[in-house]
Amino acid sequence: QISDTSQVSVEHSIDYKTPTAKGGHRTEYSVGATPMHVLRGGVISLMPEKVRTSDYAD
């Protein structure tokens, strides 16, 4: 859980391998974390269930 919100941090990794022209391969590896909202029933979403325009007003 992130602070006292209804969000959690989801950790993830990406491991990508692609062949090269000389018969070898190139590898990329990335690790990160993405904040996600927990909605009713435990559904995980990138966006909150209800968005207020005041959250995005300047």
**Looking at residue 8, what is its pLDDT?**
94
19-23 CB contacts, 8 Å cutoff, 24+ apart: none
In this prediction, residues 21-37 reach a mean pLDDT of: 95
Tell me the pLDDT tens digit for each residue of 31-57. 999 999 999 899 999 988 877 676 666
SS3 of residue 29 by DSSP: strand
Q: Which helix (H) or strand (E) holds 12?
A: strand 7-19
